[in-house]
Amino acid sequence: MCKLLLSCFMLTAMVSMAYAQLDVAKLAQAYKDFDMARNEGKGYSESPDSSSLGWGEGSIIQSYALMWEVTEDTYWLGQISRHFRNIMATATDPDGDGYLSWTTKAYSTAVAYAERLHNVSDAKIAPASQINRNGKAAATCSGHKYIIEFHSGPGAFRVRDWNTQAVLAEDVEYKDGAEIAQVVPFKFKISGETHQGDRFMVRTYVPAAVEYVVHQGMFIYPVALFIEAVKSTPALQDEFGKAADEFLAFIKKHVFEHNEQDWIEMGERGGAYREQALFTARDPNVILPHNQYGALGRAWIVLKDIEGAHPLMADRGEKMARYFHSYLELDEEKNAYKWHYMDWILYGEPKSSGYEDTSHAALTMSLAVVAARRGLVFTDEDMVRIANTWLKLMWNQDEADPKMAASVAGGEPHKAPALYNWWSDLSQWDRQIYDLALTCFLATDEQKQAASAPAMLHCAKRAGVQLKQ
């Protein structure tokens, strides 16, 4: 009995010591200073590129939502409002469909199609189509048509840019299996016995500007939290009520209604968004990876009961949570979940990628966190299992230098620090996640502590830690 009391006393002392090391006011000011030094406090909110908005601005505006939850200081709501006004101002309607949105070419592909032109010979060009997924290389694609022609005889060919009529290569000696490298960034091969007058055409298509659900979700979700906070708190109405109504109306039309064209029902599994039907998109029309549809699904779960929200938001949020949940794999020994980066149906056949990497899985997992906190689809038992994904499959079991594995399936290498993206939110279901995150936080210098203050403070709040105000 005495040993038990002594252990409890030591644990209480350790916990109290940890509490004392997180001063909310001090860390909040440090983060304000850090934030204002980042493009004068504007972050990436003025960028017209959805990739910069999603992966750059998204984490910034999310940090304001975290700080609001921890401090209840309206300064952070003001930051969300200012940033989202900048983001709305960058939205455009390039395709003229009446919806404003944000696009990027960063992940688009270059595509080429090759064909024979009613030649005398049976020589062939291959491949008939190809996709270049390398962003930098794909950007060199001209979008032109090209002619490869054996104008003087079967032993040599030339390559012409049909759009400009410029000759790119002249009198190139032909050998069976000859490589054609002049149609940048593609390579083709001509094989077989050719004939004078044979021609082959290559059509190329430049990477298109694509709208990405995941980028939208990264900054729309924290704005949804802003709307929820304002709508549920009468004291915030005077200062932020008008902005909340304006933001909700914008999101309802230009994000929710716009994305309905890419919604797909998946029966008992639920549903999700698909890639746009643009053939220079990476995977046209395929069901999106879990992290991508889930990023926006979080916003619909938050907004589903808000007055003025679209009536289908509740349905879409629930179905996306259910879609992800349906693909969870239980490791019974560890009582932990694993999941793939992507699960989809291709021509009637189920397909799966490898297990999801740590970075993208943090975003996927946050869909479960948001759903569970609102009593939707995910139970506390589910969340304990996802916490066990962190603690029993991914953690290197080193309390002094806690690191996470490269994927939800675990294994080497362990590189990601314990305080990483949204993983720390799981402290609500297992206090050890907070302890490991704190160890990681305290091991860094003041600059890094300032940068990660929102995540650390939020982790502490979710763990039920009584912070120093």
* Domain ranges across the chain: 18-104+211-462, 110-205
The beta strands (E) that lie in 162-282 are given as 166-173, 178-180, 188-191, 199-205, 263-265, 271-273
Q: Indicate whether 6 pLDDT > 70.
A: no
Q: Is the pLDDT of residue 1 over 70?
A: no
The mean per-residue pLDDT over the stretch 441-445 comes to 95
- As a whole number of angstroms, the distance between CA 52 and CA 122 comes to 49
Residue with tokens 């794909």: 138
Say how far apart CA 362 and CA 197 lie, in whole Å: 58
Per-residue pLDDT averaged across 355-372, rounded?
A: 98
HSE-up of residue 248 (Cα within 13 Å, Cβ side): 25
Q: Spell out where 310-467 has E strands.
A: 329-331, 336-338, 343-346, 349-352, 403-405, 414-417
Closest by CA position to 195, among listed 154, 149, 158: 154
The 8-class DSSP code of residue 165 comes to T
Q: How far is CA 392 from CA 384, 387, 415, 427, in A?
A: 11, 8, 16, 14
The pTM assigned to this predicted structure is 0.90
pLDDT of residue 421: 84
> Does the pLDDT value for residue 361 go beyond 70?
yes
Report the pLDDT averaged over residues 227-248. Answer: 98
Cβ atoms 318, 324 nearer than 8 A: no
pLDDT in tens, 65-117: 999 999 999 999 999 999 999 999 999 998 899 999 999 999 999 999 999 99
Identify the CATH assignment for 18-104+211-462 out of 1.20.1600.10, 1.50.10.20, 3.60.20.10, 2.170.150.70.
1.50.10.20
**pLDDT tens, residue by residue, 171-212:** 999 999 999 999 999 999 999 999 999 999 999 999 999 999
Contacts 24+ apart (CB under 8 A), 67-73: 67/28, 67/31, 67/453, 67/454, 67/457, 67/458, 68/225, 68/226, 68/229, 69/225, 69/458, 69/461, 70/24, 70/28, 70/454, 70/457, 70/458, 70/460, 70/461, 70/467, 71/24, 71/28, 71/457, 73/28
Segment 256-285 shows an average pLDDT of 95
